[in-house]
Amino acid sequence: MEAAVCRTRQGAVRGTLSADGGIAAFLGIPYAAPPFGPLRFRPPAAPRAWSGTRDATAHGPTPPKAPYTPPFDTLIPEASVPGEDCLNLNVWTPSPGPGARLPVMVWLHGGAFTNGSAASSAYDGSAFARDGVVFVSLNYRLGADGFLHLDGVPDNRGLLDQLAALEWVRDNIAEFGGDPDQVTVFGESAGALAIGFLLADEQVRRRGLFRRAILQSGAAHHFLRPRSARRITERLAEKLAIEPTADAFAAVPMDRLLAAQAELRREIGARPDPAVWGEAALNAMPFEPVTAGPAEDGLELPGPDCGVELLIGSNLEEYRLFLVPTGRLELLPDAKLRATAEAYGLDPDKALPVYRDARPGAVPGEIFDAMTTDWFYRIPAIRLAESVPGSYMYEFARRSSAFDGRLGACHGSELAYVFDRLDDPTYAPLIGEGAPQAVADAMHGAWVAFAKTGDPGWAPYDTGAAAAGAGTRATMIFDDVAPGVVEDPRAEERALWEGVR
C-alpha cells in the first residue's frame, strides 16, 4: 500500500492509503504516555515526542484485560496487542493534511469497563471516512487500572484517558483533515455510559471538547458511590491478600490481578446483594465511574443548557445477549421476575401484567428481558433525552437470526449496522445470516448525517407538552422494514417507571 504522512505535535506519523487512494489510516498513535511504572494509577501524562517519522501502519498495544468467559468469548471476539504503550488511538480520514475541516467522530468502545479495545476490525472506520468523516477510535484503561477506587490517586482514570484523547483530537485533528470544532463523540455500552458521565460533569462540558454525542445502549444512570467503590476495592484486596492501596495493587503481577478481577465479577453475579455490593449488585459491574453526586437514581443529568446535541437510543431486546447463549431465557423461574421487579422499585402486581399483556405467551425469561432492558438501557436513555430538549431518540429492533432467531435485537447487535461492516466476521456470531444492507445504509447514514449537521433525519424527542397529550416522543425504529418513526413506543411500559427510575 502507498503511504500517507501527517504531523502531530509529538512528531510525524506514516499511515497507509487504501488501494484506490481514497482513505488514509493511521494506527497506534500515542495520545498519552504508557500508564505503568511511576505513572501507574495516575492521570494520563503527555506522550513523548519523537524524531523522524513514526510508523502508524499497525494497531498499537491494548490495555490489559481478562478475556471474556464462554460463551461470550466466541460471541464477542476480542483483539489484544501486547505492550505498555497502550494509550493510543487510530485515525481514518478521506483527506490527510490540513485544510479540509471535515466533521470528526470519536469512538469509545464498550465492554463493561473491563473489556474491549480499539484494535478490533469491528471498529474499522473506513465506512465513516468513505462518507466524508474523519474517524478516531481509542484505547483507555480498563478494570482496576482504569476504575478501581484507591486513596491518594484520582478516580475514573479511564475517563481521564478519554478526555486526554479528546484533547489530542482538539490539538491535532486538523492535520488529518478534521475540524476540531465539529467533534461528535459516540460510544456503545460502557462507551456510552462514559459519555453520559462526562455529560453530567459541567466542567467537562465547558471545555468544549465535543459538540455532539451519540449514546448507544448506555446513558447516565450507572455509577458507583464511594462507599460501594471502597467495598469493591477491599474485596479485591482480600482476594489478592494485599492492603487496599495503590502501591500494593501495583506490585501484583498483571495476570494475577486480572484473574482476581474476573473472579470478583463472578462473585457479584452469583450473589447480587445490594446490602453488600451497593450499586454494583444491580449494575453487575464492579468497575465503573465513581461519583459522590447528589442524585439518588443516577448522575445529575445535564439540562436544557447542556450545549451538546444528543442522539440517544437502545436495542429492543438488549438483555437477550446475557440470557439466550447461557440458556437462561427458557430456564428463568417466575419467582425471579417478582424479585427483580421489587429490586428495581416496581410493584410486581402492577408492572408484570403490563409486560405480559404486551407479550402473549411469553416465558418468564422473555418478560425478564423486557423489564431489565428497560431498567438498564431504555429508561435511562429516555431520562437523558427528557433532560436535554431537542435530543433525538432511536431504537434498534432488527432481530438477529442467530440462535434460531432467539437472540433477537440484543445488546451490541446494532454495531455492525452503525459501522456498515455486515461482512466483518467479528460480527457474525451476533447478527447471524441475512443481515439487510438497507438497515446498515439507514443507520450508518443517520449517524453520519448527525455528525455533519446535528440532524439524523427525524423529529426530536419532544416531551414539552406531553402532559397535555401533545408530546410526540418521536423514536426512529431501525428494523428489517424501512426505518420509521413511532410516537412513544410501549408507552404503558414507560409509564411504569415514572418516579421510579
SS3 assignment for 110-128: CCCCCCCCCCCHHHCCHHH
The pLDDT of residue 466 is 47
Q: What angle do CA 163, 264, 40 make, to 5 degrees?
A: 40
Alpha helices in 396-436 (DSSP H): 415-418, 428-431
Name the active-site residue from 175, 188, 318, 493. 318
How far is residue 438's CA from residue 451's CA, in Å, rounded to a whole number? Answer: 20
What domains are defined for the chain? Answer: 3-188 (3.40.50.1820), 226-283 (no CATH), 310-437+469-496 (no CATH)
The pLDDT of residue 1 is 59
pLDDT digit string, tens, across residues 199-227: 999 999 999 999 999 999 999 988 999 99
Name the active-site residue from 387, 411, 414, 493. 411
The answer, yes or no, to whether the previous bond of 43 is cis (omega within 30 of 0) is: no
pLDDT at 62 over 80: yes
The pLDDT of residue 312 is 98
Give the mean model confidence (pLDDT) for residues 368-385.
98
pLDDT at 362 over 90: yes
How far is residue 34's CA from residue 493's CA, in Å, rounded to a whole number? Answer: 47
Q: Is 446 exposed, middle or buried (0-12, 13-18, 19+ CB in 10 A)?
A: buried
How far is residue 410's CA from residue 419's CA, in Å, rounded to a whole number? Answer: 17
pLDDT at 418 over 50: yes
Could you give the C-alpha distances from 237 to 40, 241, 244, 448, in angstroms and in order?
Answer: 17, 6, 5, 45
Q: How many H helices and E strands in the chain?
A: 21, 13
The pLDDT of residue 117 is 97
The pLDDT of residue 283 is 87
Beta bridge partners of 16: 3, 25
DSSP conformational letter for 189: T
The pLDDT of residue 390 is 96
Q: Amino acid letter at 271? A: R
Does the pTM surpass 0.95? The reply is yes
pLDDT at 101 over 60: yes
How far is residue 64's CA from residue 123's CA, in Å, rounded to a whole number? Answer: 19
Q: Amino acid letter at 410? A: C
Q: How many Å is the Cα radius of gyration of the chain? A: 22
Do 459 and 485 meet the contact criterion of CB atoms below 8 Å apart? yes
The pLDDT of residue 217 is 98
Instruction: Say which residues have a Cβ less than 8 Å from residue 486's Cβ, sequence separation at least 6.
Output: 395, 474, 475, 477
Beta bridge partners of 90: 137
pLDDT at 275 over 90: no
How far is residue 406's CA from residue 362's CA, in Å, rounded to a whole number? Answer: 12
Q: Which residue has the higher pLDDT, 136 or 221?
A: 136
The pLDDT of residue 179 is 98
318 is catalytic: yes
How far is residue 473's CA from residue 486's CA, in Å, rounded to a whole number? Answer: 8
The pLDDT of residue 482 is 84
411 is catalytic: yes
Of the listed ranges 144-158, 188-202, 347-361, 463-477, the least confidently predicted one is: 463-477
Q: How far apart are the first and last CA of the chain?
A: 52
Name the active-site residue from 95, 137, 189, 387. 189
Give the model's confidence band at 2: pLDDT under 50 very low, under 70 low, under 90 confident, else very high.
confident
How far is residue 489's CA from residue 476's CA, in Å, rounded to a whole number? Answer: 10
400 is catalytic: no
- Please give the share of the chain, as a percent, with pLDDT higher than 90: 90
Q: Is 239 exposed, middle or buried (0-12, 13-18, 19+ CB in 10 A)?
A: middle
- Please give the share of the chain, as a percent, with pLDDT higher than 70: 97
Of the listed ranges 126-130, 255-259, 271-275, the least confidently predicted one is: 271-275
Give the mean model confidence (pLDDT) for residues 330-344.
96
DSSP per position, 307-348: -SEEEEEEETTTTHHHHTTTTHHHH--HHHHHHHHHHTT--H
pLDDT digit string, tens, across residues 159-183: 999 999 999 999 999 999 999 999 9
The pLDDT of residue 467 is 45
The pLDDT of residue 298 is 53
The pLDDT of residue 300 is 82
Give the mean model confidence (pLDDT) for residues 42-62.
98
Cell 449488585 belongs to residue: 281
